[in-house]
Amino acid sequence: MVDRIHLGRDDRETIQDIIRFGLKHHEQWVGARLALACSLQMSDLPDPQIFQKQSQQRGGVELHAAQLTGEGKGPEEDITDILRALLSIHEGRDYFEDEEGFHDALQRHVRRGLRELRNTWPKDSDFHGYLLQELFFEDGSFGAEDNDSRTEGLGQRISVVLGQLGIGAELVETVEGPRLTRFQFVLEMLDDLDRLRRGIGKIGFALGFGQESVTLALARGERQVFLFVPRPPKQWRMVTWKDVRHKLAEPTSEVMTLPVCLGTDVLGEPFLIDLAEAPHLFVGGTTGSGKSMCLHGILLSLLEARSGQIQLVLIDPKAVEFQAYVGCKLLREGGVIVSADSALVALEGLVEEMNNRQEILGEYDARNISEANARGAKLPRIITVVDELGDLFLTRREIEAPLIRLAQKARSVGIHLVLATQRPEAATFPGLLRSNIPSRIALAVQKSSESRIILDEVGAESLLMRGDMLVRFAGRQTTRAHGCRVDAADILSAVGTT
């Protein structure tokens, strides 16, 4: 291995801060290793556009890759094979035979890890304590014995703030979800509800959570309300795919045509929707919001619950997110589509398939695919998942036409769309698509205008990142949920069983 890892000025300064204020008197490669560990803690893959391979930067730093891996230093210090294995599992690729790919993956993960350290480590805090709680006890198990006392103290603080706002309320129940704590109050008078609505931003401000962090919902019961209060990320309870996949085998999902588990609700119960009832989905969220994990959760749900009854069309213009599904036997096009030209051909082919299926429905005197299959048609449902719709539109705007036709007419013949973008704007989710895709999932976005594009309402700009989402399913009220962590091993396992 002779390649070097080139880092920018910000990365160099972060490594210097780690050495100066954290580890004290260690080499630069030690900071790079910590950054690599930090990145591997994150369930999604580093965006290749944001962390693309770069040459030496002015004011940056150059590390020899062998410094990072310990290659050539003897069996006790050489961790090259360990890193190859970790990255291969994390990204679903074989880096034992791909030297260039291994080096590129190292650089992407080191750069992302340094950015994460830069954004989450308070410089005035103890670095070793930060590593202990953020890296090694991210699931919240560390200090779990203090949860009850911490929650009780927060409930008392909220009661004091409510009193300062002139709201008479009695705390009657506290329930901790994976990321939020739900406090149930009984209000003394009906007028207290109006005062609470007007002062909800002040509660978050008084608690130090930000003006829009605390949310209000009405509870069943006379004069009862819920207050949902976010906990710090280090107190979140990590929910993995293994924690929720069992729900797909229970009676609740068996009555669904295309059950999809998006993660959990705010109290930690698995959150399911029926994609066939959607019948299409639009997913929007900024970088780091958990959009990719959401798409993987949808795909794994379909593979685990209905693998014998579906076909998949996967369109991935960045050629990164869906590469682990390349070997899936359910792929209609024989592989993952990565070019805009191929995507256009595939979508036009689906329009033709839609027209053919409408004729088949007529032959079976059926109104929809369910009736036709009940009479012997044996038509699989086709789910088309498009990641980064905005990139496709920028390259080939003609793609919009077949998507609109499919959104308008494909439901009855069993063709469903899942469209995703990290740039939710009018150009990437135009009016005709919006009117024909009523089911939406909004992850964290930067501006309220982006939330309106996705949901037709604000709220997504206040989400907590890392899978926190608002789900507006057709015909239902907007619901908050949390995505689960999907590892590369989960994908490989699901693909291997198809």
Determine the Cα–Cα distance for residues 325 and 166; give it in Å rounded to an integer: 57
Torsion sign, CA atoms 152, 157, 163, 166: negative
Under a CB-based contact definition with an 8 Å cutoff, are residues 481 and 469 in contact?
Answer: yes
Determine the Cα–Cα distance for residues 383 and 155; give it in Å rounded to an integer: 45
Q: How many angstroms separate the first and last alpha carbons of the chain?
A: 37
Determine the Cα–Cα distance for residues 70 and 64; give it in Å rounded to an integer: 10
Determine the Cα–Cα distance for residues 312 and 89; give it in Å rounded to an integer: 23
Under a CB-based contact definition with an 8 Å cutoff, are residues 249 and 230 in contact?
Answer: no
Determine the Cα–Cα distance for residues 165 and 192; give it in Å rounded to an integer: 10
User: pLDDT tens-digit profile of 397-441?
Assistant: 999 999 999 999 999 999 999 999 998 888 888 888 999 999 999
Residue 394 confidence (pLDDT) above 50: yes
**Looking at residue 144, what is its pLDDT?**
46
User: pLDDT tens-digit profile of 111-166?
Assistant: 888 888 887 776 666 677 667 656 555 444 444 445 666 777 888 889 999 999 99
Q: What is the pTM of this model?
A: 0.75
Q: Please state whether the peptide bond connecting residue 233 to the residue before it is cis, i.e. omega within 30 degrees of 0.
A: no
% of residues, the chain, pLDDT over 70: 92
One-letter amino acid for residue 170 of the chain: E
Residue 263 confidence (pLDDT) above 90: yes
**Looking at residue 361, what is its pLDDT?**
96
How many CB atoms within 10 Å of residue 415? 25
Determine the Cα–Cα distance for residues 473 and 260; give it in Å rounded to an integer: 12
Query: In a 3-state reduction of DSSP, which class is residue 281?
Result: strand
* H helices, E strands: number in the chain: 18, 15
Determine the Cα–Cα distance for residues 168 and 190; give it in Å rounded to an integer: 10
